Structure 1
Amino acid sequence: MPRFEGAPVALPLQQPDANRPLPRVQIPGSSQLRPGSVQTQGLPANRVALRILVIGPTPEDPGLQAWRALLDQLGANYEVLYAATQELTPGFLEDANGGRFQAILLSSNNLPYEVSPGRFESAFSGDEWRLLWDYQRRYAVRSVSLYTFPGPGTPNTWEADPEDYPEDYCIRSVRPAGYEGVPTDNRATNPPGDPPDNPPVWMTLTPEGRGVFSYLNPNAEIPIQNAYLYPARLATAQESPGCLVQPLLQDTEGNVLGVLSRSSDGRERIALTFASNPYLLHTQLLGYGLIRWATRGLFIGERRHILAVDVDDWGLESDWWDDALQPGDPLRYRPQTFRLSAQDAWSLYQQQRQLNASYPLSNGFMLNLAFNGRGVNLGAAASCNPGVSSSDPLSSLTKCLASRMRWVNHTRDHPSMDNITDPAALRFQIAENTRLANQMGLWYSPKTLKTGELSGLGWYRSPAPAPVIPPALPSECPAVSGPTGPGADEPRKDFGLICANQSMLDRAVELGIRYIHGNYSVKSHQPPCPICGVVLRPGLLMIPVWPTNIAYTVTTPAEATSFYNYIYAPGGRFPYWPRALTYEEILDQETNLALYHLQVSASSHYFHQANLREYAPGRSLVFDYLNRLMQKYTSYYSIPVLNPSWDEIGAYVAERTQHTALLQAGITAFWDRSQNLVTISAPAGISGVLFFTGTAQGMSWVYGGDTVSKVSLSAGQELRFSYHPGE
């Protein structure tokens, strides 16, 4: 679905690429190797690298993409083997230091790829499967299969029927036609409330599953949508001699959808019987627990759930949407503008308090209010009485809320920064706004800047054929449009960060700005990894924020619905849905997106001051959204969201950017389990912050029951510490 304030953004969570059955395969090159028969002499079987191996047939495999996305979100140390084109060899799994991998993550249990139209083979030969199993057995390395056939065969004896399953994970199909799988809803554009082609399957945690996925709500009902699945049952002792198994996940009929098992040769494994891709809710909910289990709780990387919401243009007025418009009508607004009242401001504080009371996992949540100093009156007396007699009641309430909200620099006047080149004018917009914020006593993030309309960063309107205002841009960049004339009504275009306003960036650094907001809808603003920033200058990091489809001009549910359908309903500017949506359906879609973003990034969603209007007692569009989002979050999770200030978010993203640079430069980390000793070494020539989970070193904390550590490593530094599993 497009975002109105930027380039089109695909709607995640409804991607259909996982909704396909797992093909039957032939396993080529079968020899009569048995588990444990591939031996490499003289290697220390207790020493493994803190590195994860991901195995999939091809880069396009949805399960492999899911693993990569989950690991990138954590900042994990991992390597990928594309099994259709890369051979698994003893030298790949082991070297002179010991085992090269602490955990194995399979995209599926049979690694299928199409060798000719309609004919599939396993990307691993029989010898490669045996080699992998022997490595796991000797080094006590766990594995997870993300998409698994329930088989009729016995563990490790695929030679009896060399199709479908190298091993069966101690589960059996409950359907005679189990190979075909069960499709769930596969209509990517199905609005909420419309009958799906196939309904979702609801999945719950077993008592054993609550241990593996301890961060989830133990009573969570998880929908499997847009994904094939294979309902299963546990194999009997006669069907799988020597195979020990526990159910982790089940459907409403008691069918098994995930298991933890120990093979007859002692290998520990988890298998899920449904498909995944990076955008599916069940993938995001279960992924962390699978990785944590596979690594025995010790791994490079960490996770946290950050809930941040910005509301722009505090103190200013905005255009006001005319909700009488219909799709296809000329765009127009009401003749009057909208500005928050003191009553609106006091109500939003009460709504914030109510959100925290209703949802303890919101963890003391506060809004980030993007402040424009032009809109306030310094002389107005502070008051928490919305009926105060004041030269500007909103300014009086602003002083009351100064330490009860968080505040961000949004420039004094909210000008476009695309074409202001005068250093004095730029300093005035940034520094004067900070001075006014300090005069108002605001709890303010002085290192963070959000420009008006996220301008000045190479995403702007350009006229044709002649320039109106010469920009401070490289000669190859198109000119910037003026406020009127050619190009003024054109949509913004992404010309790349090379076309950012360099004078504006220079002034930002000069004035102590360290973090500047970009726009996730703009391709050139998207960072190279999920929790990274884009370095614009030494010491200046761009962190994109998420737009929403609640327009800056709307104040009530009726207005929000009118605008949304003006854009996305049939006949709209960007028609997407097959019919107009209701306000409740819009909230559902927007909070589905927000829940996904909350799990995969460390940034905020942004609204505008008109969206805070108290349209009914104790109600506003922003808090309708937040209450719906927290309702969903608490139905799935038992761990709190985090709500840092924007300066704290910036510092965290900067450190995660360093962390990623260390991984890319080739950090080395080993766990010697015979001595309970961990050794981590930074590569030569690069230093930075490294995060890891499972033990307390350096600066450490506990989140979701897991100990997380942050250490600063200088180039070539070696860190050694003892580690005892379960400590």
Structure 2
Amino acid sequence: MPRFEGAPVALPLQQPDANRPLPRVQIPSSSRSRPGSVQAQGLPANRVALRILVIGPTPEDPGLQAWRALLDQLGANYEVLIASTQALTPSVLEDSAGGRFQAVLLASNNLAYEVSPGVFASAFDADEWNRLWDYQRRYAVRLVSLYTFLGTGDPVFNYAEPEDYCMRAVRPAGDEGVRTDNPATNPPGDPPLYPPVRMTLTPEGRGVFSYLNPSAEIPIQNAYLYPARLATPEESPGCSAQPLLQDSSGNVLGVLSRSSDGRERIALTFASNPYLLHTQLLGYGLVRWATRGLFIGERRHILAVDVDDWGLESDWWDEALQPGDPLRYRSEPFRISAQDAWSVYQQQRRLNASYPLSNGFMLNLVFNGRGVNLGVAASCNPGVSSGDPLSSLTKCLASRMRWVNHTRDHPSMDNITDPAALRFQIAENTRLANQMGLWYSPKTLKTGELSGLGWYRSPAPAPVVPPALPSDCPAVSGPTGPGADEPRKDFGLICANQAMLDRAVELGIRYIHGNYSVGSHKPPCPICGVALRPNLLMIPVWPTNIAYTVTTPAEAASFYNYIYAPGGRFPYWPRALTYEEILEQETNLALHHLQTSASSHYFHQANLREYAPGRSLVFDYLERLMQKYTSYYSIPVLNPSWDEIGAYVAERTQHTALLRAGITAFWDRGQGRVTISAPAGTSGVLFFTGAAQGVSWVYGGDTVSKVSLSAGQELRFSYYPGE
């Protein structure tokens, strides 16, 4: 069993900083023309690529990073222009086939950046701004400004540089902005220095963000914002607007507007970065609106929770430990009882009844065959008299939960090199699962402690390298030998146990769990895997700060504060947190992961103890998570099996490879014709949203399709937007 797996990735998300004002700038050109002064002539050009243009002033700009993160999560086809170093030339926007982009996403409305300390300018000059507006006008391309400075009512420049979004500031000049709280310096439960602003959807906003709970109160936290009002016709001639988002005072925080020359824009008046909740909640709707509902890529919200070590015992945390004490555990181990197991099933039923958006959620119970007794009879009576009541309950729950291979004995797979021993751990566990009648994922493997993947303890200097490792990898320490008390280190996947990987492939394993807290395990995109063999994909899973040794709220808080309170191993908070505060932090992070990845969070069997009637740490977490999710969303979560998750991630990995190889995708809006083709030498699965082709389904009201493209193959279909 693991002792401590290193600092998890589960601390508050707050980087890059979004709590800064947007500097005012003037466009550096004496010939600057007011937007809308050139009227549209004739019908717009019709042929545009299914590609999105993202423009930011610098690579570090938080708004640019937010757009990139959102589009990578969707698997969107996009191109980035860094405006401070790349010119917006005509060839960037158009080629001989037509427009190169179907939508434009700005990091901020003025693309302000610091050219020297304290000196700010727009990254575009007047010619570039006019070129961008002309492209929008001629191709009827929509634009979104993620962070927008407001018009000031100045008699000369009575609109925000470089153009007017039909909004005006409601606060006095020099005090236009509002700062909100930074949770990193303000523990949960303490009075906020700068309270969050709660925004709601207007009737028009409920159309753009139709997947959100129409009554959602969306917090703007750790972000600067500019409350606004709509401009009057006198202040903004020819500009029409509809508010999308507002605060509790009715101030406008997001607007859909049409310029006097007919260009459609959405502007938000608050900062964003990839990790802020409001960025994730609003991002999909902004992209969907900008692309008129047709784009390369797709989204889904997957809720998966693994509970490891089913059937085994674990160390049991001593909650009397304080930060700075030597690490120790109780003298007796902990193993859940049949009553705990039956309560888990009842808690799962209650979750689904209480939260319909949980969509029939089931736990993934990660199974070790050594811990079960095949000879006992199945029973759903937790008081059964049996050779092993937990095994009897396991047979009862066989088809009421999902199950994953965790090896028979839970050994470390870092240094087992004997083929027969490796086959036994993987194949024997499958045999036992089948004999128990478990609803089992035969293609998925989670090794004990996520071992065997280049993240291990090693003595220094290395004596003899086990034959399963390349010669330049440090030797693995034995369980009680040199280095056994050292923390795990990331030596990279090159130092994975090659013999274990070979046996896994031989036995039909196609997906193996990695660890998101290990650098070399992180995939190259949010919903991608890492290929370890042609037929073996590593998919990392998310750790939590609910330790594998804890069974009650008091134990969970004791462990957490032993690590993160002042004097702890990784001190972070300025004071110890309560269990409720820890639960709040953990589920905030889980909600972020649910929106941005396809992987599970993992717990351990001790966390399933029924510490009070109908209560366990795992379902405390799930209840709080679903409470948050349903307060924001109106679409259900998805809960596929691990084999299904693996197949999906494998397909999204192919999808990303196709995008990086350069697919060709055009939409001729005049003829209502879409053409998509794969580049020469590349084939795979491609996802797109807005039309039904190949295998298609509806999620959150949007039609999503999955097609298989061979190299050079061309897909054609008709499409007309629904508006």
State the TM-score bracket (shorter-chain normalisation).
over 0.9
> Displacement of 1:118 after TM fit?
1.0
Distance change >3 Å, CA 490–CA 126, structure 1 → 2: same
> Displacement of 1:464 after TM fit?
2.2
Distance in 1 separating the partners of 2:30 and 2:301: 46
> Displacement of 1:33 after TM fit?
4.1
Deviations 1:151-181 (A, max 9, x none): 13699xxxxxxxxxx0120000001235651
Distance in 2 separating the partners of 1:168 and 1:175: 18
> Displacement of 1:315 after TM fit?
0.4
Distance in 2 separating the partners of 1:561 and 1:170: 50
> Residues 340 and 613 of structure 1 are in contact (CA less than 8 Å); yes or no, is this contact kept in structure 2?
yes
> Residues 49 and 669 of structure 1 are in contact (CA less than 8 Å); yes or no, is this contact kept in structure 2?
yes
SS in structure 2 at match of 1:16: coil
**Counterpart position of 2:288:** 292
Distance change >3 Å, CA 293–CA 25, structure 1 → 2: same
Deviations 1:189-216 (A, max 9, x none): 3211112221101111001100000000
Map 1:39-78 onto structure 2 (within 5 A).
Answer: 45-78=45-78
> Displacement of 1:469 after TM fit?
7.2
Distance in 1 separating the partners of 2:180 and 2:4: 30
Deviations 1:354-383 (A, max 9, x none): 000000000000000000000000001001
Distance change >3 Å, CA 103–CA 594, structure 1 → 2: same
**Counterpart position of 2:136:** 136
> Displacement of 1:241 after TM fit?
1.1
Distance in 2 separating the partners of 1:84 and 1:656: 33
Distance in 2 separating the partners of 1:621 and 1:259: 42
> Residues 244 and 261 of structure 1 are in contact (CA less than 8 Å); yes or no, is this contact kept in structure 2?
yes
> Displacement of 1:16 after TM fit?
6.0
> Residues 237 and 243 of structure 1 are in contact (CA less than 8 Å); yes or no, is this contact kept in structure 2?
yes
Higher alpha-carbon deviation: 667-676 or 324-333: 324-333
SS in structure 2 at match of 1:708: strand
Distance in 1 separating the partners of 2:14 and 2:114: 25
Distance change >3 Å, CA 544–CA 345, structure 1 → 2: same
SS in structure 1 at match of 2:542: strand
Deviations 1:448-486 (A, max 9, x none): 000000000000001123547735211111110111132
Distance in 2 separating the partners of 1:11 and 1:675: 51
Distance change >3 Å, CA 586–CA 484, structure 1 → 2: same
Distance change >3 Å, CA 154–CA 262, structure 1 → 2: farther
Distance in 2 separating the partners of 1:552 and 1:667: 45
Runs of 5+ in structure 1 lacking a partner? 156-165
Distance in 2 separating the partners of 1:179 and 1:133: 30
> Residues 3 and 521 of structure 1 are in contact (CA less than 8 Å); yes or no, is this contact kept in structure 2?
no
> Residues 13 and 596 of structure 1 are in contact (CA less than 8 Å); yes or no, is this contact kept in structure 2?
no
Deviations 1:611-638 (A, max 9, x none): 0000110000000000000000000000
SS in structure 2 at match of 1:547: coil
> Displacement of 1:493 after TM fit?
0.2
Distance change >3 Å, CA 479–CA 409, structure 1 → 2: same
**Counterpart position of 2:21:** 21
> Displacement of 1:2 after TM fit?
16
Distance in 1 separating the partners of 2:506 and 2:2: 36
> Residues 69 and 274 of structure 2 are in contact (CA less than 8 Å); yes or no, is this contact kept in structure 1?
yes
Distance change >3 Å, CA 218–CA 41, structure 1 → 2: closer
Distance change >3 Å, CA 308–CA 47, structure 1 → 2: same
Deviations 1:640-661 (A, max 9, x none): 0000000000000000000000
> Displacement of 1:39 after TM fit?
11
Distance in 2 separating the partners of 1:21 and 1:152: 15
Distance change >3 Å, CA 168–CA 10, structure 1 → 2: farther
**Counterpart position of 1:160:** none
**Counterpart position of 1:565:** 561
Deviations 1:21-63 (A, max 9, x none): 0011131124254657889999981000000000000100000
Distance change >3 Å, CA 283–CA 137, structure 1 → 2: same
Distance change >3 Å, CA 662–CA 466, structure 1 → 2: closer
Distance in 1 separating the partners of 2:583 and 2:460: 38
Q: Determine what percentage of the aligned residue pairs are the same residue.
A: 90
> Residues 380 and 393 of structure 2 are in contact (CA less than 8 Å); yes or no, is this contact kept in structure 1?
yes
Distance in 2 separating the partners of 1:533 and 1:325: 39
**Counterpart position of 2:159:** none
Pick from 468, 484, 488 the counterpart of residue 484 of structure 2: 488
Distance change >3 Å, CA 4–CA 333, structure 1 → 2: closer
Distance in 2 separating the partners of 1:672 and 1:136: 16
Distance in 2 separating the partners of 1:560 and 1:113: 45
> Displacement of 1:686 after TM fit?
0.6
> Residues 696 and 704 of structure 2 are in contact (CA less than 8 Å); yes or no, is this contact kept in structure 1?
yes
> Residues 178 and 230 of structure 1 are in contact (CA less than 8 Å); yes or no, is this contact kept in structure 2?
no
Distance in 2 separating the partners of 1:104 and 1:388: 64
Distance change >3 Å, CA 29–CA 651, structure 1 → 2: same
SS in structure 2 at match of 1:31: coil
> Residues 672 and 720 of structure 2 are in contact (CA less than 8 Å); yes or no, is this contact kept in structure 1?
yes
Pick from 591, 596, 601 the counterpart of residue 592 of structure 2: 596
Deviations 1:49-91 (A, max 9, x none): 0000000001000000000000000000000000000000111
Deviations 1:261-307 (A, max 9, x none): 00000000000000000000000000000000000000000000000
**Counterpart position of 2:102:** 102
> Residues 183 and 227 of structure 1 are in contact (CA less than 8 Å); yes or no, is this contact kept in structure 2?
yes
SS in structure 2 at match of 1:115: strand
Normalized against structure 1, the TM-score is what?
0.96
SS in structure 1 at match of 2:242: strand
SS in structure 2 at match of 1:37: coil
> Residues 40 and 261 of structure 2 are in contact (CA less than 8 Å); yes or no, is this contact kept in structure 1?
no
Distance in 2 separating the partners of 1:37 and 1:665: 41
Distance in 2 separating the partners of 1:245 and 1:4: 55
Normalized against structure 2, the TM-score is what?
0.97
Higher alpha-carbon deviation: 44-53 or 139-148: 44-53
Distance in 1 separating the partners of 2:300 and 2:463: 46
Distance in 2 separating the partners of 1:168 and 1:15: 30
Distance change >3 Å, CA 211–CA 2, structure 1 → 2: farther
**Counterpart position of 1:444:** 440
> Residues 170 and 229 of structure 2 are in contact (CA less than 8 Å); yes or no, is this contact kept in structure 1?
yes
Distance in 2 separating the partners of 1:153 and 1:675: 44
Distance change >3 Å, CA 274–CA 3, structure 1 → 2: farther
> Displacement of 1:238 after TM fit?
1.1
**What is the total number of aligned residue pairs between the two structures?**
717
> Displacement of 1:11 after TM fit?
3.0
Higher alpha-carbon deviation: 233-242 or 404-413: 233-242
SS in structure 2 at match of 1:541: strand
Distance change >3 Å, CA 508–CA 290, structure 1 → 2: same
**Counterpart position of 2:158:** none
> Residues 242 and 263 of structure 1 are in contact (CA less than 8 Å); yes or no, is this contact kept in structure 2?
yes
Distance in 2 separating the partners of 1:119 and 1:255: 30
Distance change >3 Å, CA 561–CA 8, structure 1 → 2: closer
Distance in 2 separating the partners of 1:8 and 1:512: 31
> Residues 541 and 654 of structure 1 are in contact (CA less than 8 Å); yes or no, is this contact kept in structure 2?
yes
> Residues 77 and 300 of structure 1 are in contact (CA less than 8 Å); yes or no, is this contact kept in structure 2?
yes
SS in structure 2 at match of 1:66: helix
Deviations 1:293-343 (A, max 9, x none): 000000000000000000000000000111111111111111111111100
SS in structure 1 at match of 2:385: coil
Distance in 1 separating the partners of 2:78 and 2:16: 27
> Residues 422 and 500 of structure 2 are in contact (CA less than 8 Å); yes or no, is this contact kept in structure 1?
yes
SS in structure 2 at match of 1:707: strand
> Residues 5 and 547 of structure 1 are in contact (CA less than 8 Å); yes or no, is this contact kept in structure 2?
no
Deviations 1:500-528 (A, max 9, x none): 00000000000000000000000000000
Distance change >3 Å, CA 408–CA 222, structure 1 → 2: same
> Residues 693 and 706 of structure 1 are in contact (CA less than 8 Å); yes or no, is this contact kept in structure 2?
yes
> Displacement of 1:569 after TM fit?
0.7
Distance change >3 Å, CA 221–CA 618, structure 1 → 2: same
Distance in 2 separating the partners of 1:688 and 1:36: 44
> Displacement of 1:106 after TM fit?
0.2
**Counterpart position of 1:663:** 659
Runs of 5+ in structure 2 lacking a partner? 156-161
